[in-house]
Amino acid sequence: MAKETITVHLKVWRQNGPNDQGRFETYKAEDVNVHMSFLEMLDVVNEDLVRAGDDPIAFDSDCREGICGTCGFVINGQAHGPEPSTTVCQLHMRSFKDGETITIEPWRARPFPVIKDLVVDRDAFDRIISAGGYVSVGTGPHQDANAAKVGKPLADRAFDAAACIGCGACVAACPNAAASLFTGAKITHLSLLPQGKPERSRRTRRMVHQMEKEGFGNCSNIGECEAVCPKDISIDNIAKMKREYLRAIFTDS
């Protein structure tokens, strides 16, 4: 019969803010139920720290269903941990061995300054989205569902790009700290659909320029971003973004 509880040793990055030097601190988590999620395990560790009068480990979470993109940090050198297509909140302790030492760090990228411990400021992503501006829509009565026809292959491609949850794992995994997969997914999503056509070129130019302004690195096609993406966003979206940008710089729309 498989063991239901394990003991793990945590090596956690603690940092009081962007100007703090930061350091690793070690904790021992005993009798951890293997069916716990990784964040539930940290919740228990934090309860013990609070009871002892110590400062709990700061980390982000919200839906805990792999939807919102709020959670995220590096576990044993891998963004979101060892399981593919999985966010930290979906990762379970059965993925680790009894007695294992687990190293936990925040996303490390200059555009993602550390707020505290494992929490980083990802407002740069929001500014890239905001730079894209609005999408034109008609006012008045709702259109019929089939008024704007979109073929299934195109709809599927747009949906695959729209699945990006903006967690930032792609940036954390990239040696260049590039945000090309995130930005490419957002640009691709709207450029493929009729609703995104009116502002297509302007949106692409502004989002790419904002990405560069935020200080993200350049894509060199290493592919780590695709490998760690919890939603399996394809690097084809980066190629699409580059094509859209070349198109955009020769248009005035």
Question: Percent of the chain at pLDDT above 90?
Answer: 87
pLDDT of the residue at 160:
96
Last residue of a domain, one of 76, 105, 134: 105
Residues 6+ apart with CB under 8 A from 55: 49
Encode pLDDT of 23-64 as tens digits. Answer: 999 999 999 999 999 999 999 999 999 999 999 999 999 999
Name the band, by pLDDT with cuts 50, 70 and 90, for residue 1.
low
Q: Which of 72, 91, 46, 249 is nearest to 167 (CA)?
A: 72
How many domains does one find in the chain? Answer: 2
Q: Which of 74, 105, 136 marks a domain boundary?
A: 105
* Domain-embedded: residue 231: yes
User: What does the buried/exposed string (b/e) look like for 67-77 if buried means 16 or more CB atoms within 10 Å of the residue's CB?
Assistant: ebbbbbbbbee
What's the rounded mean pLDDT across residues 95-103? 97
Residue 96 and residue 6 in contact, taking contact as beta carbons nearer than 8 Å: yes
Same-domain check for residues 41 and 134:
no
* Residue 139 pLDDT > 80: no
Distance CA 46, CA 28 (A): 11
Residue 253 predicted with pLDDT over 60: no
What CATH number is associated with residue 195? 1.10.1060.10
pLDDT for position 147: 75
**Is 95 in the same domain as 133?**
no
128 within some domain: yes
**Among 1-10, 46-55, 134-143, which range has the highest average pLDDT?**
46-55
Identify whether 112 is part of a domain. no
* Pair (100, 208) in one structural domain: no
The tokens for 249 are 């710089």
Q: Has residue 114 been placed in a domain?
A: no
Percentage, residues of the chain above pLDDT 70: 96
CA distance 7 to 238: 42
Please name the residue that has the structure tokens 């993200």: 216
Give the domain CATH number at 77.
3.10.20.30
Please say whether the beta carbons of 194 and 229 come within 8 A. Answer: no
Grade residue 145 by pLDDT with cuts at 50, 70 and 90.
Answer: low
Predicted confidence (pLDDT) at residue 170 exceeds the cutoff of 90: yes
The structure tokens 């990762």 sit at 91
Q: For residue 200, which of 143, 126, 250 has the smallest C-alpha distance?
A: 250
Q: What is the structure's pLDDT at 53?
A: 98
For residue 113, is it within any domain?
no
Cα(153)–Cα(54) distance, integer angstroms: 54
Supply the pTM of this predicted model: 0.93
**Is residue 77 located within the same domain as residue 160?**
no
- pLDDT value at residue 195: 85
CA atoms of 88 and 39, how far apart (whole Å): 7
> What pLDDT was estimated at residue 134?
84
158 in the same domain as 75: no
66 and 127 assigned to the same domain: no
Does residue 24 lie in a domain region?
yes
Rounded to the nearest integer, the mean pLDDT of the chain is 94
What does the block give as tokens for 46? 């934090």
Q: Quick one: 100 and 140 in the same domain?
A: no
How confident is the model at residue 252, as a pLDDT? 64
Which of 157, 201, 207, 203 shows the shortest CA–CA distance to 182?
207
Domain of 72 in residue numbering reads as 5-105
- Asked if 128 and 89 sit in the same domain, the reply is no
Q: Max Cα separation, the chain?
A: 67
d(CA 17, CA 4): 37
Is 138 found in the same domain as 44?
no
> 142 or 241: whose pLDDT is higher?
241
pLDDT digits (tens, 9 = 90+) for 171-208: 999 999 999 999 999 999 999 998 888 899 999 999 99
Q: Residue 155: what residue type? A: A
Q: Is residue 111 part of a domain?
A: no
Q: Is residue 117 part of a domain?
A: no
Distance spanning both ends of the chain, measured CA to CA: 65
- pLDDT per position as a tens digit, 112-134: 999 999 999 999 999 999 999 98
